[in-house]
């Protein structure tokens, strides 16, 4: 894909996000779009946000559950980037700032040291991790009805939109992260649940795979970055007025309110 096309598609996706409206998926117009093309578009999109003065909080992993990978017919997860403007403070999001948001519960890692692939394993990630904490990720695909193919979602920064971090920080050796039970409730009603192992067998494996994927581009995970490892629960559609809360065994709880 030539650079000019990648730039125009990245700008188009940024506009959709800023103007809070759905757009037709890219592969309708470019059925031949490859995963490599898609990451090129994502790279331009990320570069533009940096130019606008936003800061990267850390990368995030998507499609980390076997069910989602099967559904998308892929054998590798995808990544995107979380920016500072996406981090929710004050425990509230505004529905009118978003298109058709969904929420999922995850475990976030804060790295104490750089992690550089290839060949990184989950154990090495745990050794390099300063803290883990609970997180609620709000995904908001810019595509109509959340319908997309793999290259579409990659170009769209892996549907990244908002994130709410919990305040219970633990060292990773204090927990068996694959056995952490997670429940996601909306307005007090239990909606989705799972255990840490739903993410590639262990959330640390997700970070390791991320480091190895970034290594192909000559990138590494940096000390201080906060990484979203992927949804442990299924994603639930949000509505104005929803009170969202997740509990994670040993990691406390995290929640937010959806303002109209």
* Residues that bind other proteins in the complex, under the rule CB under 8 A: 66, 176, 178-183, 190, 193-198, 201, 232, 247-250
> 228 with 66: CB under 8 angstroms?
no
CB 178 within 8 A of CB 248: no
Q: How far is the CB of 140 from other proteins (least distance, A)?
A: 26
Shortest Å distance, C-beta 132 to other proteins: 14
Nearer to other proteins, 157 or 183 (CB): 183
Tell me how far, at minimum, the Cβ of 106 lies from other proteins, in Å. Answer: 14
What tokens appear for 147 in the block?
A: 């319908």
Instruction: Pick between residue 88 and residue 197 the one whose CB is nearest to other proteins.
Output: 197
Q: Tell me how far, at minimum, the Cβ of 104 lies from other proteins, in Å.
A: 14
Nearer of residues 112 and 255 to other proteins, judged by Cβ: 255
Q: Is 197 exposed, middle or buried (0-12, 13-18, 19+ CB in 10 A)?
A: middle
User: Quick one: 44 or 198, whose CB is closer to other proteins?
Assistant: 198
């Amino acid at each position: 894909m030539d650079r000019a096309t990648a730039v125009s598609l990245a700008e188009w996706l940024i506009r959709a996000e800023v103007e809070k409206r759905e757009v037709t998926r890219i592969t309708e117009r470019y059925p031949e779009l490859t995963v490599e093309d898609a990451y090129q578009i994502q790279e331009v999109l990320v570069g533009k946000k940096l130019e606008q003065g936003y800061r990267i909080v850390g990368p995030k992993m998507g499609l980390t559950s076997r069910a989602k990978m099967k559904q998308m017919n892929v054998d590798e997860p995808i990544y995107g980037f979380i920016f500072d403007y996406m981090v929710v403070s004050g425990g509230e999001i505004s529905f009118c700032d978003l298109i058709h948001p969904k929420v999922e519960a995850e475990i976030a890692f804060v790295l104490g040291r750089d992690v550089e692939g290839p060949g990184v394993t989950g154990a090495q990630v745990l050794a390099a991790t300063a803290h883990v904490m609970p997180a609620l990720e709000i995904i908001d695909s810019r595509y109509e009805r959340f319908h997309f193919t793999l290259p579409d979602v990659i170009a769209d920064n892996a549907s990244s939109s908002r994130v709410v971090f919990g305040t219970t920080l633990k060292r990773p050796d204090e927990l068996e992260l694959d056995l952490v039970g997670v429940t996601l409730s909306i307005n007090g009603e239990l909606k989705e649940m799972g255990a840490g192992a739903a993410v590639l067998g262990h959330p640390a494996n997700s970070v390791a795979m991320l480091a190895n994927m970034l290594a192909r581009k000559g990138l590494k995970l940096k000390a201080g970055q906060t990484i979203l490892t992927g949804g442990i629960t299924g994603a639930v559609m949000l509505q104005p007025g929803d009170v969202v809360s997740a509990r994670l065994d040993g990691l406390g709880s995290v929640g937010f309110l959806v303002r109209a």
